[in-house]
């Protein structure tokens, strides 16, 4: 069964610190992997998409890496800010079709 | 315009009511999706439309009826819902199905409460 796991479920860090969010998946034959952000009661905002042939993607203070062999992806956030507080979801496209398999998310709180 | 809009933002309905959720995008995307999200859970895929044709139905009960009248519009018709159907309903779109670099763009969702 293809599954996506995110640990920890919640994380609190002081403002200004760098941090890493983790995502693991059970099948290395992925098509692509995406990181989303969700604010409470809101929709999802796409942050980064990594194709299966890529190792990392960067956007501003965000850097996402992909290691298919170990079934892992990380989202690195540099110089964290209170506005980064949200739930971060990892989603994997396993089959090259339209279905995304989501992890359960990490709820991030940045402490001012 | 990189926005997916959803109406209404909030909906409260009784178990005997019929209501509809609406989703719209003007990005020229040809794939559109409905997701259901319960509190503190990830989104669950319900339906996928590709070029206005139903491509995937994730074994959703028939009290949920999707409709794609044109390439920009996606509806979800609701009838005889149960209280456990209360959730955030999210619409998303993407340029096409199966695109290697295609991300899904999500709307803000409709918060549905069934009494």
Q: Which residues of B touch A99 (CB under 8 A)?
A: 45, 48, 56
Task: For residues B27 and B21, give the distance between their C-alpha atoms in angstroms, rounded to a whole number.
Answer: 20
Q: Quote the percentage of chain B above a pLDDT of 90.
A: 77
Alpha-carbon distance values, A70 to A23, A24, A93 (Å): 11, 8, 16
Kindly tell me if the per-residue pLDDT of A108 is higher than 90. yes
Kindly tell me if the per-residue pLDDT of B45 is higher than 90. yes
Kindly tell me if the per-residue pLDDT of B71 is higher than 80. yes
A3-12: per-residue pLDDT in tens?
999 999 999 9
Q: Which residues of B touch A89 (CB under 8 A)?
A: 42
Q: What are phi and psi of B75, to 5 degrees?
A: -115, 155
Check CB contact of A102 with chain B, cutoff 8 Å.
yes
Alpha-carbon distance values, A89 to A23, A39, A72 (Å): 9, 11, 14
pLDDT for residue B102: 77
Scanning every residue of chain B, which has its alpha carbon at the shortest distance from the alpha carbon of A99? Answer: B45
pLDDT for residue A95: 75
Using CB atoms, which residue from B6, B43, B107 is nearest to A102? B43
Q: Which residues of B touch A32 (CB under 8 A)?
A: 100-101
Contact A42/B109, CB-based, under 8 Å? yes
DSSP per position, B54-100: EEEE-S--TTEEEEEEETTEEEEEEES--GGG-EEEEEEEESSTT-T
Kindly tell me if the per-residue pLDDT of A22 is higher than 90. yes
Alpha-carbon distance values, B45 to A101, B33, B54, B57, B94 (Å): 9, 8, 13, 9, 14
What average pLDDT does this structure show over A47-68? 95
pLDDT for residue B58: 87
Confidence of residue B100 (pLDDT cuts 50, 70, 90): low
Using CB atoms, which residue from A43, A96, A105 is nearest to B109? A43
Kindly tell me if the per-residue pLDDT of B67 is higher than 90. yes
Task: For residues B42 and A106, give the distance between their C-alpha atoms in angstroms, rounded to a whole number.
Answer: 11
What average pLDDT does this structure show over B31-60? 92
pLDDT for residue A29: 84
Q: Which range among A7-11, A72-76, B53-57, B86-90 shows the weakest confidence by mean pLDDT?
A: B53-57
Count of positions (residues) in chain A: 112
Using CB atoms, which residue from A46, A49, A89 is nearest to B42? A89
Q: Quote the percentage of chain A above a pLDDT of 90.
A: 79
Q: What is the mean pLDDT of chain B?
A: 92
């Amino acid at each position: 069964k293809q599954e996506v796991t995110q640990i920890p479920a919640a994380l609190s860090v002081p403002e200004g610190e760098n941090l890493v969010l983790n995502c693991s998946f059970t099948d290395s034959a992925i098509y692509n992997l995406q990181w989303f952000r969700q604010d409470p009661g809101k929709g999802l905002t796409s942050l980064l998409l990594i194709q299966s042939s890529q190792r990392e993607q960067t956007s501003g203070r965000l850097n996402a890496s992909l290691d298919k062999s170990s079934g892992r992806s990380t989202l690195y956030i540099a110089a964290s800010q209170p506005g980064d507080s949200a739930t971060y979801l990892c989603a994997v496209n396993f089959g090259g079709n339209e279905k995304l398999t989501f992890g359960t998310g990490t709820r991030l709180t940045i402490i001012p | 315009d990189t926005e997916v809009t959803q109406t209404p933002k909030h909906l409260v309905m009784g178990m005997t009511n019929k209501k509809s959720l609406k989703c719209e995008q003007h990005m020229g995307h040809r794939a559109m999706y409905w997701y259901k999200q319960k509190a503190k859970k990830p989104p669950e895929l319900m339906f996928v439309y590709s070029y206005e044709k139903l491509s995937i139905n994730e074994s959703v009960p028939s009290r949920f009826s999707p409709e794609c009248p044109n390439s920009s519009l996606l509806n979800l018709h609701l009838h005889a819902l149960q209280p456990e159907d209360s959730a955030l309903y999210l619409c998303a779109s993407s340029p096409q199905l199966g695109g290697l670099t295609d991300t899904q763009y999500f709307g803000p969702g409709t918060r549905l409460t069934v009494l």
